[in-house]
Structure formats: C-alpha cells, structure tokens
Amino acid sequence: MPKSKVRKKVKKRRAEHASIQREEQEVSHKGPSPRWYVFLMFALMTAGVVVILLNYIGLLPGGTGNRYLLGGLAGIAVGFTMTLGYR
C-alpha cells in the first residue's frame, strides 16, 4: 500500500505562533485601559438607553421624535464601539 504524503503545516504554524506572540507583546506593552474609559463606555450606553426610554414615554421636550431615537441609538453604538478598544 502506498504511503500518503506528509503535510507541511509545521512551518506555517510556527509563523502563526510567532505573530500571535508579537501581538500579545504589543498589547501588554500598551497596558490596561484607563479607568475613565470604562466609565465613559458604560455611561454612553446607559445614556442612550435612558434617552430612548424617555422618548418612548414622551417626557423629553419637543415630544417624541426621531432625533431623540437616533441620538440614543448613536450613544449605544459609540459605547459598544468603545468596547473594541478596551484592554
């Protein structure tokens, strides 16, 4: 019975492992995120939810409007986008 060919993934895995180690070193070199970053991230998400709820209830000046809804959604979106940069 003929022998099957040997796969040559060892070199590729070593290169991937080396790049992962470099990325980990870069992240550890930058250090953790500052405390204000976390507070701002959650404050934006919370403010967005509060604005949407107040718009739904009708307690905001000017009545219910799409600009309040879009503003609340924008606050939530910016807060979630900030989570991508959290270390």
How far is residue 78's CA from residue 87's CA, in Å, rounded to a whole number? 17
Task: Walk along the chain (87 residues) in steps of 10 and give the mean pLDDT of each run.
Answer: 68 61 67 92 97 94 90 97 92
- The closest alpha carbon to 67, from 80, 82, 79, 52, belongs to 52
Query: Residue 5: what pLDDT?
Result: 76
Strand, helix or coil for residue 7: coil
Query: Residue 27: what pLDDT?
Result: 58
Query: Residue 14: what pLDDT?
Result: 59
Count of other CB atoms within 10 angstroms of residue 82: 17
Q: Which two tokens stand for residue 77?
A: 């979106």
Output DSSP code: residue 83: G
Strand, helix or coil for residue 62: coil
Tell me the pTM: 0.66
